[in-house]
Amino acid sequence: MTIIDQPTTDTAAAPGVKPGRRLSVAPMMDWTDRHCRVFHRHISRHTWLYTEMVTTGALVYGDVERHLRFNEEEHPVALQLGGSDPTDLATSARLGEKWGYDEINLNCGCPSERVQKGAFGACLMAEPQLVADCVKAMRDAVSIDVTVKHRIGIDQTESYDFVRDFVGTVADAGCKTFIVHARNAILKGLSPKENREVPPLKYDFAYRLKREFPDFEIIINGGIKTEAEIDEHLRHIDGVMLGREAYHNPFVMATFDQRYYGDADAVVKSREQVIEAMIPYIRAQLALGEKGLKLNSITRHMLGLMTGLPGARQFRQVLSDSKKLAAGDANLLLEAAARLRTTA
Ligand SMILES: Cc1cc2nc3c(=O)[nH]c(=O)nc-3n(C[C@H](O)[C@H](O)[C@H](O)COP(=O)(O)O)c2cc1C
């Protein structure tokens, strides 16, 4: 595989900017588990992947292996942590590095009430010095990158200065990579889902951060779907993170290796080849006999593979048939794909 080490965009790479994070798939609870990440990896070799948020409580007091194990082929993969206690975050970050993650990311963007009760997520944006202390503790504990994912404001804050001061304070602790979900988080009155749709997107705030802190790596997130949109953002900032679009229409990533990583040798697999690559993985996982792991635990992440093609609905229908799924045969994917061909 040949990686052409040149930015494919107008943004000159600042020191500390990792070309690897030019494109990434967002951390998404319940969605970007290790099976989903393996599936995404079969579509794009280079796109940077994130885990679901893992709380420090789950790592300090819980089953570390259950939360941290992942498959070698997922690299590069970042562990997202949720927490606000510097000591626990340092312990968790150390575990993440030990398990082989490529980056530790701190969640300062989740607005859910459950997360607020634990005093972390988006409400941390009101306490930039605490976030800086957390970042410092994690950086002291690990040698991999420590990054922060955050919003542009909380509740009714409208001023750019709020996010600029947040980034400035956290950067003083050594964080140089900021993933900006470019809308406010409303901490009371909106559900997490509404918080991803209702507050307006202000991409310009992220662009301004890049202008003001040119040496930092600024990655933009929120509502981005098409290559044209990605290209436009990359004229202003260092990287683009896709969430829901990557999940619901994962084949959007099929061209990323060539287009955004300059990997001239990258082979764009067909959707059928992605399915063929997943079948041995699924069989091997099911053969492990892990408690609770079913065919659907893996195939549910693949429902969007045919998005945009005639027959995509039939593909999803076959993969959602509980009787067929109960048989636990990975060949169900081939049956679903065949349905697509007869529909097309
Ligand atoms: C189902 C779901 C779960 C999410 N879980 C997390 C999470 O664990 N950590 C996080 O930082 N953001 C989480 N998010 C927010 C996404 O990372 C992303 O910031 C948001 O969806 C906006 O990007 P998009 O418009 O490209 O989807 C979640 C989003 C969704 C849809």
pLDDT digits (tens, 9 = 90+) for 233-252: 999 999 999 999 999 999 99
Look at strands 23-25 and 239-242 and give their pairing: parallel
State the distance from the centre of ligand 1 to the C-alpha of 269, rounded, in angstroms: 27
Domain finish residue from 219, 236, 261: 261
In a shared domain, residues 167 and 313: no
Q: Residue 51 falls within a domain, yes or no?
A: yes
In the predicted structure, residue 185 carries a pLDDT above the cut 50: yes
State the Cα–Cα distance between residues 196 and 241, nearest whole angstrom: 14
Nearest residue (by CA) to ligand 1, atom 7, is 28
Q: Residue 1 falls within a domain, yes or no?
A: no
What's 290's DSSP letter?
-
Q: Dump pLDDT digits (tens) for 159-173.
A: 999 999 999 999 999
State the distance from the centre of ligand 1 to the C-alpha of 193, rounded, in angstroms: 9
Ligand 1 pocket mutation, candidates 25, 28, 48, criterion most atoms within 8 A of CB: 28
In the predicted structure, residue 338 carries a pLDDT above the cut 50: yes
Q: Residue 26 falls within a domain, yes or no?
A: yes
pLDDT for position 118: 76
Instruction: Please give the model's pTM, rounded to 2 decimal places.
Output: 0.95
Residues 176-201 have a mean pLDDT of 95
Residues of 107-123 as b/e, b for ≥16 C-beta within 10 angstroms?
bbbbbbeebbebebbbb
Q: Torsion-angle region of residue 274: left (phi > 0), alpha (psi -120 to 50) or beta?
A: alpha
Q: Residue 2 falls within a domain, yes or no?
A: no
In the predicted structure, residue 10 carries a pLDDT above the cut 70: no
Q: Dump pLDDT digits (tens) for 16-73.
A: 677 899 999 999 999 999 999 999 999 999 999 999 999 999 999 999 999 999 999 9
State the distance from the centre of ligand 1 to the C-alpha of 115, rounded, in angstroms: 14
What's 13's DSSP letter?
P
State the Cα–Cα distance between residues 113 and 65, nearest whole angstrom: 27
Contact of 162 with 202, CB cutoff 8 Å: no
In the predicted structure, residue 232 carries a pLDDT above the cut 80: yes
Cβ-based burial of 323 (10 A; exposed 0-12, middle 13-18, buried ≥19): exposed
Q: Torsion-angle region of residue 328: left (phi > 0), alpha (psi -120 to 50) or beta?
A: left
Q: Distances from the Cα of 235 to the Cαs of 8, 35, 238, 272, in angstroms? A: 10, 33, 8, 34
State the average pLDDT for the chain. Answer: 93
Retrieve residue 93's tokens: 């970050």
The 3-state DSSP class for residue 188 equals coil
Q: What is the CA radius of gyration of the chain?
A: 20
pLDDT for position 14: 67
Q: Distances from the Cα of 220 to the Cαs of 122, 152, 183, 300, 320, in angstroms? A: 16, 11, 11, 27, 33
In a shared domain, residues 231 and 327: no
Locate the ligand 1 atom nearest the alpha carbon of residue 31 and give its number: 1
In a shared domain, residues 221 and 283: no
Q: Is the CB of 213 under 6 A from ligand 1?
A: no
Q: Residue 242 falls within a domain, yes or no?
A: yes
Q: Dump pLDDT digits (tens) for 264-307.
A: 888 889 999 999 999 999 999 999 999 999 999 999 999 999 99
In a shared domain, residues 256 and 278: no
State the distance from the centre of ligand 1 to the C-alpha of 243, rounded, in angstroms: 6
Q: Dump pLDDT digits (tens) for 99-130.
A: 999 999 999 999 887 787 778 899 999 999 99
Q: Is the CB of 208 under 6 A from ligand 1?
A: no
What's 55's DSSP letter?
E
Q: Distances from the Cα of 239 to the Cαs of 4, 126, 288, 303, in angstroms? A: 17, 25, 37, 27
pLDDT for position 12: 47
- C-alpha 141 chain-centroid distance: 23
Q: Is the CB of 225 under 6 A from ligand 1?
A: no
In the predicted structure, residue 4 carries a pLDDT above the cut 60: no
In the predicted structure, residue 183 carries a pLDDT above the cut 60: yes
Q: Residue 195 falls within a domain, yes or no?
A: yes
Cβ atoms within 10 A of the Cβ of 44, count? 27
Locate the ligand 1 atom nearest the alpha carbon of residue 225 and give its number: 26
In the predicted structure, residue 340 carries a pLDDT above the cut 90: no
State the distance from the centre of ligand 1 to the C-alpha of 110, rounded, in angstroms: 8
In a shared domain, residues 251 and 276: no
- Ranges of H-type helices in the chain: 34-43, 56-60, 64-68, 86-98, 113-117, 128-141, 160-172, 203-212, 227-234, 244-248, 256-261, 271-287, 295-299, 312-319, 322-326, 332-343
Please identify which residue in the block is written with the tokens 């990533």.
Answer: 253
Q: Identify the CATH number of the domain in which residue 73 sits.
A: 3.20.20.70
Contact of 53 with 18, CB cutoff 8 Å: no
Q: Residue 196 falls within a domain, yes or no?
A: yes
Q: Render 110-147 in DSSP notation, one character per residue.
A: ---HHHHHTT-GGGGGG-HHHHHHHHHHHHHH-SSEEE
State the distance from the centre of ligand 1 to the C-alpha of 342, rounded, in angstroms: 35
Q: Residue 88 falls within a domain, yes or no?
A: yes
Q: Is the CB of 28 under 6 A from ligand 1?
A: yes
Ligand 1 pocket mutation, candidates 147, 150, 196, 230, criterion most atoms within 8 A of CB: 196
Q: Is the CB of 109 under 6 A from ligand 1?
A: yes
Q: Dump pLDDT digits (tens) for 128-156.
A: 999 999 999 999 999 999 999 999 999 99
In the predicted structure, residue 9 carries a pLDDT above the cut 70: no
Catalytic (active site) residue 110: yes
Q: Is the CB of 52 under 6 A from ligand 1?
A: yes
Please identify which residue in the block is written with the tokens 């304070």.
Answer: 169
Nearest residue (by CA) to ligand 1, atom 26, is 243
Q: Tally the domains of the chain.
A: 2
Q: Is the CB of 110 under 6 A from ligand 1?
A: yes
State the Cα–Cα distance between residues 332 and 344, nearest whole angstrom: 19
pLDDT for position 8: 36
Range of the domain at 324: 271-343
